[in-house]
Chains A and B, each alone.
Chain A
Amino acid sequence: MTPQTARRANLAGGAITILTVVCAVIWAFPLYWGIVSSLKPEDEVVRPYIELWPDTLTFEHYVHALTATQIGRWYLNSIVTAVGTTVLTILTSIFCGYALSQLRFPLRRPLYWLILASFMVPTQVLIINHFVLVANMGLLNTWAGIILPQLIHPVIIIIYKQFFDQVPKEFREAAVMDNASEWRILFKVFVPMNWGVTTALSIVVFIWSWNAFLWPFLAATKTEWMTITVGITQVNDAFGIYYARELSLAVLAGLPVALAYLLFQRQVTRAITLSAGIKG
């Protein structure tokens, strides 16, 4: 590289950096605004101009959220349903992906097409059916009722199938020669060889299901069965909306997901690229 081209590359790099920073700021601002507002007294929140920092810093809304609402119960519901959804989704998808990829049985291809096709149907379309079904099963206001319809994630199955397809066939053959049962081939060879995928997918399924709103909102009609995302909507009372209070709850609701993002950044990015690769 001549000094001149080097300088030009530097300039371009600098411009891109500035652009990304600007985008990041625009993206992050609402988040910042939300957090800052949740730390302001209610009357300060509704002032008609922008104040980037509270005049009086207060934690009263958090105290209120933690003491005067059922937030503990909502957290528990969220944790149980999100973990349950994640574990069951991953497990069933592993089985299904393995069967589609490695086993030979009648109607395997039609089954795969069916799964691919179901991928085109948005869950919202089915939500009335789900509701009637779950209601008839008597599962409204239960953890199982919140979990069951959330287990439908064809994309996870397809990702597993693709990863299992990529395992060279000699590994399966070696395991067959090694007298391994189908279970052991799956759990001792195929799953461990694809740990990265499982971690990444677990994290995204967890985040999806933690953030789920529409279904838990329908399935939990009683306050004590609500997940935290639904619970937030319950803090307005007869006198109108308390913005700061709601925001403090929203921050509390988002905290675990934000933590998950921070802790597992790499896997999350990977998982999102994985599912985007399929969706795109």
Chain B
Amino acid sequence: MADIVLDHVSKSFGKVRVIDDLSLTVQSGEFIVFLGPSGSGKSTLLRMIAGLETIDRGRLLIGGRECQTVAPGQRNVAMVFQNYALYPHMTVRENMVFGLRNIGMASDEIRRRVEEAARILEMDQLLDRRPSQLSGGQRQRVAIGRAIVKEPAAFLFDEPLSNLDAALRVRTRVELAELHHRIGTTMIYVTHDQTEAMTMADRIVVLNDCRIEQVGTPMEVYTAPASRFVAGFIGSPAMNFLPVEVINSDGQALATLDDGSTIGLPPDIAGRGRLDLGVRPENVGIVGEGGMTTGKVKVVEHLGDRTIVYVVLGDGTPVTAQTGGHSQVRAGEVVGLTFDVEGARLFGTDGLAQDQAAAI
């Protein structure tokens, strides 16, 4: 177990600066998830920690040891690849011991570790098979086994579940979380799937355009997104952003929508002026009469347990609402909308949440 510190690291591919002066601390034993859209630098960052990409500037500390120039195999981290990269000509057992043989480990120690890993992952009966004789889920397991036998200070996963079908992905997700719980080793997990991030992470690092947008627990990034990007990226359906003018009136914060209707905001909310009001779909209510504003229903999606209603306000602003499974709303209807602004956030034109901007 070890903490991992990225200290002002930079990375260029040729002339293109990809990672620029990024710092991050991963606590020992933490399950941390790098979450971001494609091309946001998740893999690059992970591979810099693994040593598969060089670090141009800055320091990398693994368990307090400076590692930016240490060979990948010597960093005491193990990586699980998206396509597993199991050596096809070796049996499962040979795959697992290859790395241990390379460092000249004694054979009883090797046997102990393989047995231990096979027990943890419940794959004794697979040990003498070739990767081609395994199902996708079993291969995934072997890839993790190959990492476990190294007893590394940290595990690095690059989208390890993306080659599995949906059901298996959910099951493996649970197993991975359980595995982390059991062995307690630091894990860094790269994904673009917010559900994986929300369900497994101790903390999520949200990346956008090779920069860190926010680091926080799943609940923090969900309830208090630091930027409009995080707010929009996490949560499905995505958060609504309503252009508003926020003013103070009698000690009350009032937001005026572009269609002229006003919404009362919590008095302590930070930010005044021309802003975007972020409201999650589950905080938008649909009422027959007496709403804060009205809009026309465009599309209704019945998902069984809930209903997603896409509404357009008078001025053309789209609003998504999420209501219970038995909603009777129909497309074409004009409905009233209420906004539960308790958890609402205001975002400035720079994309930052206003409380963040105020804090800076």
Contacts and interface: CB of A to CB of B under 8 A. Distances in A.
A178 B99 contact: yes
A184 B72 contact: no
A180 B94 CA distance: 14
A177 B83 contact: no
A173 B102 contact: no
Interface in A168-218: 168, 170-171, 173-181, 184, 188-189, 192-193, 195
Given A177-B72, A178-B99, A188-B98, A170 B83 contact: yes
A126 to B, nearest CB: 38
Chain B binding surface SS class: loop
The number of chain B residues touching the other chain, given as a range, is 20 to 34
Contacts of A193: 87-89
Contact of A178 (B52, B73, B82, B89): B73
Contacts of B103: 179
A184 B103 CA distance: 12
A192 B89 CA distance: 7
Contacts of A171: 85, 87
Given A170-B85, A173-B85, A184 B102 contact: yes
Given A178-B102, A180-B98, A173 B52 contact: yes
A177 B88 contact: no
B81 interface: yes
B73 A177 contact: yes
Most interface-central of A170, A174, A176, A181 (chain B CB within 10 A): A174
A193 B87 CA distance: 8
B222 to A, nearest CB: 33
A177 B50 contact: yes
B87 A173 contact: no
B87 A189 contact: yes
Given A179-B74, A179-B99, A181-B102, A174 B81 contact: yes
A180 B343 CA distance: 53
Nearest to A171: B85
Contacts of B98: 175, 178, 180, 188
A184 B83 CA distance: 22
A174 B102 contact: no
Most interface-central of B82, B87, B88 (chain A CB within 10 A): B87
Interface string A59-71: 0000000000000
25 contacts: A168-B85, A170-B81, A170-B83, A171-B85, A171-B87, A174-B87, A175-B87, A176-B52, A176-B71, A176-B73, A177-B72, A177-B99, A178-B73, A178-B99, A178-B102, A179-B73, A179-B99, A179-B103, A180-B73, A181-B102, A188-B98, A189-B87, A192-B89, A193-B87, A193-B88
